[in-house]
Structure 1
Amino acid sequence: MSDSNRTNFTNPSTFILLGIPGLEAAHIWISIPFCAMYAIAMLGNFTILFIVKREPSLHGPMFYFLCMLALTDLVMSTSTVPKMLSIFWFNSREISFSACLTQMYFVHSLSGMESGILVAMAFDHYVAICNPLRHSTTLTSPVVAKIGLDVVLRSGILALPYPYLASRWPYCRTNIISHFYCRHIAVVKLACADIRISTYYVKFDLLTVIGMDAFFIAVSYSLILWAIFRLPTKDAWLKTFGTCISHVCAILALYIPDLFSSLMLRFGHNLPLHLLILITGVYHLVPPVLHPIIYGVRTTQIRVRLLQLFAYKKT
C-alpha cells in the first residue's frame, strides 16, 4: 500500500474504492451478473415509463406512483452500479471526496423514496378497496403530485445529515474504502474521531423511515383485509386481494433484501467481508430488477399494452 494512502489528512481529495476485497481476481466474472441485472433494471423500468406515457388509459394514481417507483429505481441503481463496473472492468478505483458524499446522499435519499412510494401505493389500494366511490375525488392528479413531492422532500431532508456528518469528521488514517461505493458507515469508520453521532443517526433514520413506513403499510393492509373479509363470497375475496398482489410483491422485493442485508451486516461478524459486500450489491439491484417484472407480469393493462407493442413491431 502506498505511503500516500497512510498520510495524515483532514479532508482527503479522493477516496480509493477497493470493489470487493479478496475477490479482485474474480472481478471480471462477478461483473457479468451485475451488468446483466443492471441492464434488465434499466430496460424494465424504462419500458414501464414508456408504456404509461403512451397509454392514456394508464394515466391514473396507481400508474403515476408506479412511474415514480420506476424513476427512483433507475436513479438508485445508476448511482452505484456504473462505478462498480468501472472498478471491475477498468480498475478505476478513485472517487473524489465531493463525489463520494454525493453518492452517499443519493443512496440514502433514494432508499427512503422507494419506501415512501410503496406507502403511497398502499394508501391508493386502501382508498380503492375501502372507499371506491371516493377514489377518483380523493386521489386527484394534484394530490398524487403533492404526495410525490412530500416523499421526495422527506427523504431528501432526512438524508442530508449523512454527507454533512461525514464531511465534518477528520480523516487521518487512510482513504481506502473496502467497498464498491461510498457506503456511509464504511466512510465514517475511516475518521479519527468519535463517530457515535453518525451511528445514532443511522438508527434514527431507519426508525423514522423504514419503521414508520412499515407501520403505515401494515395499517393500510389491516384495513384492506378487514374490508375484503366482509365481502360475501370467497371468489370476491380472491379477486379483490388479487389487485394487491403486485404491490405486496414489490414490498417484499424491497424490504426482504434490505432486512437480510441489515441482519448480515449487524450479526454476520464472522462472515467474510467479500460476502457481506456481495450481499449489499445484490440488495442495490434486486428491487430495480424485480419491480418492473412484477408489475409487467401481474398488471393486466401493462402486460396487454406490452404485447401490443411487440405485435406492432412484428407487423
Structure 2
Amino acid sequence: MTEGNFVDYVKVHVASGNGGKGSAHLHREKYVAKGGPDGGDGGRGGHVILKGNKNLWTLIHYKFKKHFKAGHGEHGSKNRSTGADGEDVYLEVPLGTVVRDTETNKVLFEITDDQEEKIILEGGKGGRGNWHFKSPTNQTPRYAQPGIPGGETQVTLELKVLADVGLVGFPNAGKSTLLSVMTSAKPKIADYEFTTLKPNLGIVQHRDFSSFVMADIPGIIEGAAEGKGLGHYFLRHIERNATLLFLIPADSNDISKEYEILLDELRRYNPELLDKDRLVAISKCDMLDEELMAEMKVELDKDLKGTPYLFISSVAQMGIQELKDKLWALLND
C-alpha cells in the first residue's frame, strides 16, 4: 500500500431517514358505505450503520465521498398496510476504527470485530395509522400520526492500526529499512527525517508458515505527546500493537537516553502503553566490531534495567532471524 493511499482520519456527514406518515384512511368497499378506520402505520426511516470489514486496511474510500443519507420510510396506506422501512446505509470500515462525535470529540464506540455492526444514527419512527386511535367514543378518527424526522450529524472516523508489533523510534532510525527487510512491504526509504508520514504494514513470515503483522510508525520526537512533529497522528496507532519494538541506531550519542525519551513520550500520551511487551533493537550494528559491542553490552545491561535487547543490521542482514524469534516468543508468551 502506497503512503498516499493510507487514510486514517476522515470526517463524514451522515443523515438518517424520516419515518413515514400514518394513514388516516377510512375503509370503503361495495355495500359498505361507512367502514371504520383502516389506515396503516408509516415505515421507519433508514439507519446509518457502521460495519467492520477485516479486508479493509484504510479509510481511503471516504476520502472523496463524505456525505451519506439513508432512505425515508414509506407512508402507511389502506387495509392497515404498513409502509416499507427506509433503506439503511452501511459504512464499512477497517477493524480498529474509533468513531467520535466531531463537535464534542466524544468517543461513541469502536469497531474491533469483523462484521460487527453499530448504529451511528437511527432513522425516525413511522407514525401510527388512524385505526390505532378508534375508541367507543371516537369510532371514525380522521387523523393519524406524522412520522418522526430523521437526524443528521458529523462523525470523525479515526483508524488505529491493528498490528502485532509496532516499530518505535526517532526519525531516521532505520525503521522503514527494517520493515522492508523483514517483510515484503516497500516503504519509502530516504536519508532524511520524517520520510515516513503514514504507518506502513508488513507481514513477517516466521518458521513453520507462521506469521505476524508489523507496523512502521512515523518517527517520534521529544514533545510528541503534546502534538509536536506528527504528535497524536502516530501515537494513537501504537495503542493497538501487542508488542513494541524500540529501534535505536548504534551511532546514537546516548542509546539509554534515547530509550528513556521514547518511553517518556509514550508514558505522557497514555501510561497504559508501558504495560505492553517491549524489545530494544540496536540497529546499524554492521559499523561495530566485537570489542565495541562487548563494551556497549555492559552499559546496556545496566541502563535498560532488564528490558531485553539485541544487535541487528538491516543492511547486513545481521540478527534478523534472532529478532523474528524473539518477537514471536513475546507475541506467544
TM-score if structure 2 supplies the norm length?
0.20
Q: Which has the higher contact order (CA 8 A, sep 6+)?
A: 1
Higher helix proportion: 1
**TM-score relative to the length of structure 1:** 0.20
